[in-house]
Structure 1
Amino acid sequence: MCYNLKTSIGYQTNLVATTLKTSFTKLIQPRFGVAAEQFATLKIINEDSEVTQTQIAEILGKDKTTVGRSIDSLIKKGLLKRKGCFLDKRANRVYLTPKGLEVLEGANEIGHRYNEAIKSKLSDGEIEIYFKVLNTILSQSQNIELELGEK
C-alpha cells in the first residue's frame, strides 16, 4: 500500500482550497488591496464586533500570531481600528473603519459573484452532496485515532 496524492482527501481538499483562495485574491487584491484571508477577517469582524483575535483564528483555522499580523496589516491600510476595551483594560477590540466597510462591501460583491460562477457549474444536488461530504470529513477528521506501530 502506498500513500498517493491523487487519491488523498487531505491533499486534494487543500489543493482546491488553495486554488480558490488564490484565484479570489487575484480578483480582489488589485482593486481593494486585500487578500482572500484579509477579506475573511474583515467579514468576521463586521458580523461580530465582539469577536476576539483567538476566535478569528479558530474560525479561519489559523494561529493567533498569523491573524495578529493580518490585523496589524489591515490597521496600517486604514481598514481596521484598534480600541481599548472599556471593561477590560488589557483587551483590545478591532472595528472596521469607513474605508474598511467600503472595501468589505466591494470585495463582498465580487465574492458573491465568484461563488455564484463556481456554483453555476454544478447542479443543486451536487452542491448539496459537496457540502454534506465536506461536513462529514470535517467532523470525522477531528476524531480519527490510529495505532501506529514502530517500523
Structure 2
Amino acid sequence: MNNKINEPIGKYVSQLYRKGNSFITKELSQYGIGSGQIMFLLQLYNKDGICQEELSENLNIDKGTTARAIKKLEEESFLIRLKDEQDKRAYKIYLTDKSKEIKSGVYEVLQDWDSIISKNITQEERDTLVNVLKKICINQNIK
C-alpha cells in the first residue's frame, strides 16, 4: 500500500497566482495598471476592437467584472469604447496610444515573471509543466 499523500495541485497554483499577482502589480504600478486589468489589455493587444462580450468570453470572466475593468482602464485613458456599427446596443473596445506605448513594457514584466518562476527548471520540465497545465485547463473547460 502506498502511504505517500498526494499533495494538492491547487495549493501550488494558488501560491503562484498570488505571488505572480503581487509581482505584476508592483512592476506595472509605474503605468497605473493592476494585475486585474492586465489580462484585458493582453487580449486587446492580440485583437484590438473586439466587443465587451467577446472579451468576457475569451477570458472566461463574468460580464460585470469585465465592465468594471474596462471602466477603470477607460478612466485611465488606456481604452476607448465606441458603439458597434453593426449592433448599436454593443460597444467595441479599442486600445489608445497610451496603452500601445506601454505594450513592450507590459510584455517585459510578464517575461520577467516567467523567467523568475522557471529559473531552476529545464526546458523539458517547463514544456511538460505547460502541457500538464493546458490539460488541466481543458478538463475545466478553460480556454
Gaps of 5+ in 1: 1-5, 143-151
Q: 1:13 to 1:113 in 2, by over 3 A?
A: closer
Query: TM-score under structure 1 normalisation?
Result: 0.79
Q: Which amino acid letter does the alignment assign opposite residue 56 of structure 2?
A: A
Asked if 1:81 corresponds to 2:80, the answer is yes
Q: How many angstroms does 1:75 deviate by?
A: 0.3
Q: Who is 1:114 aligned against?
A: 113
Answering whether residue 26 of structure 2 is matched by residue 26 of structure 1, we say yes
- Kept in 1, the 8 Å contact 2:74–2:80? The answer is yes
Q: Which stretch shows the higher mean deviation, 62-71 or 45-54?
A: 45-54
Q: How does 1:58-97 map to 2 (within 5 A)?
A: 58-97=57-96
Matched, 1:38 2:26: no
SS of the counterpart of 2:45? helix
Residue identity (%):
25
Measured on the aligned residues, the alpha-carbon RMSD in Å equals 2.0
C-alpha deviations, 1:41-81, integer Å up to 9, x for none? 11211211243323322333321101110000000001101
Q: Secondary structure at the match of 1:7?
A: coil
Q: Is the CA contact (8 Å cut-off) linking 1:78 and 1:99 kept in structure 2?
A: yes
* Cα drift, residue 36 of structure 1: 2.1
- The answer to whether the Cα contact below 8 Å between 2:31 and 2:102 also exists between their aligned partners in 1 is yes
Mean Cα deviation higher: 87-96 or 43-52: 43-52
Q: Could you say which structure has the larger radius of gyration? A: 1
Q: CA deviation at 1:102?
A: 1.4
With normalisation by structure 2, the TM-score equals 0.82
Note the 1:91-106 alignment, pairs <5 A: 91-106=90-105
Q: Distance in 2 between matches of 1:109 and 1:50?
A: 23
> Do the aligned partners of 1:46 and 1:95 also contact (CA within 8 Å) in 2?
no
Equivalent residue for 1:148?
none
Query: Aligned partners of 2:89, 2:76: CA distance in 1, in Å?
Result: 24
